[in-house]
Amino acid sequence: MTRQTAYQSCSMSIESGTLCQYCSNDAGELISFAECLERFVQWTLRQEPGTGRQAAERKALEFMAGGPTWRDNPELLRRLTVGG
């Protein structure tokens, strides 16, 4: 049986390594904050079609703030403080 763990940036289940396929680039490195945020925004817009861009971005920021990978990121903290 393969043991899966939740990756700390996005909660995606992973079987090995430290980064999931959505949070890493082709070299296996963590993507930038801006790219990760945009991926979460686009995911939210697909999952909740009636959600506007601003609401999707806010949801993405709040989700990212809940995990250890991004919660202390200065840009995330700035955006949450000023409302996006």
Measured between its terminal Cα atoms, the distance across the chain in Å is 43
Residue 61 and residue 37 in contact, taking contact as beta carbons nearer than 8 Å:
yes
Helix or strand (DSSP H, E) at 32:
none
User: The domain containing residue 33 runs over which residues?
Assistant: 5-82
Q: Using pLDDT thresholds of 50, 70 and 90, give the confidence band for residue 2.
A: very low
Residue 15 and residue 3 in contact, taking contact as beta carbons nearer than 8 Å:
yes
How confident is the model over 13-67, as pLDDT tens digits? 777 777 777 788 888 888 999 999 999 999 999 999 999 999 999 999 999 998 8
Q: How far is CA 21 from the centre of its chain?
A: 12
* Single pTM value for the model: 0.79
User: Residue 24, SS3?
Assistant: strand
Q: How many domains does the chain have?
A: 1
